Structure formats: C-alpha cells, structure tokens
Structure 1
C-alpha cells in the first residue's frame, strides 16, 4: 500500500477532528421548546376526567382453597378460568413460560399478577 501524502493525511486529521466536534455537540437528550405539560396526553376509559371510584374496573380473586381443590400447580393453571384472561401455550420466551393476555391484548407487558402466600 503506498504511503499517504501530506495533503491526504491532513485531510484525514481534519475530518476526524470535525466528526469528534460534531459528536461532542450533539445532545443525548431531546430539548423541547415548549413545556411538556402543555402537550400532555391523558388516556382515559371514560374520555373525560373522573374520580377512580366512578370508573368501572374489575379485580378477580382466586382463593387458595379453590386452587388446592383443583390441584393447581402453576400461575397459568390458577388463572385459566378467569374470564377475559388468556393463558396461552408458550410465549416468545419458550413453551414453558405461558403468555398472559387480556381479550384484545396479546403479549401485554403491563399486566400485574400478585400472589399472596
């Protein structure tokens, strides 16, 4: 490979210096020109602001005595009879991990399942 001439080496150094300066000046975060509160998006089941006590919601309790009577061994088995909840066979993480989902929402990453005792 022939050696680079002085003009080519100088050009390479200049380009390297300019790209380093450009990287240093580019921010990692987006600076908004307007306050974020002005453009806040609120998602609501009722389309208007309501007190939580006035919004329809549901909670399902599966009792331990019922689970023992059915011989339940896994969380998926415990939840298989809950109306509106799907405990399909397998997920992106393999067949041994069930894919919990709600009607209309599959592979829903924000589903809270709590186990007490």
Structure 2
C-alpha cells in the first residue's frame, strides 16, 4: 500500500523557510492569490504542499521560483531554513555602470545646461 506524501500548509511553510517575517504576511500573500504551486494559482493558505512542489511568488521587487525539498518542523535559524528549498530563481543581471565621457561639469557648465533646458534658476548670466 502506498503511503501518502507528507504535506503541510503553504503559509506555514513560507514562514518557516523565512521568506516572510510573519505568518500573517505569508497568509495574506497566499490569500490574495499571489502564489502559484506547480503553475496553478493558490488562494487558500491551508493548501497542501510537499517535497518536489515548485512555488512561484513575489518577494519585494523580485519574482522567486522555489522548489520545496523538505517540510519544516519549526522556524529555525536561516541555515536550517535554507535546507527546506532549492532556489530556482534566475540570477539578476546587473546594469552596466555609467561611464563618464568627459570631465565633471563646472558650476558654470551646469548653469548653461539649465538655461538650455529652460530650468533657469536665480542666477545672473554673465
């Protein structure tokens, strides 16, 4: 006879894995429909997840893609929480640094630019 796969609540797991500071925040995110499990939108915080499920959700300004590797027993320290998942989020690409084409503009240069843009301030052009 097959034993059923062990599962747990999605809101509790997100909190235990330290993706959210409080369980209430995790519950609100799931309840608002901002979490997907294996591509399907979930709106119930009590939805069951288990090892092998892939979660997609927004955290801050990033979209996170996480594969559940284990269920948590408690909300432990960060190294313990990191053993609960595998991060599948693609790495962020950094913007190229802005390079200067010439020397830094002087105050006189900035005033001339302001005059060209029509952003004249309180200065006397000489």
TM-score by length of structure 2 reads: 0.21
Q: Which has the higher strand share?
A: 2
Q: Over alpha carbons, which structure has the higher Rg?
A: 1
TM-score by length of structure 1 reads: 0.22
Q: Which has the higher helix share?
A: 1
Q: Which has the higher contact order (CA 8 A, sep 6+)?
A: 2
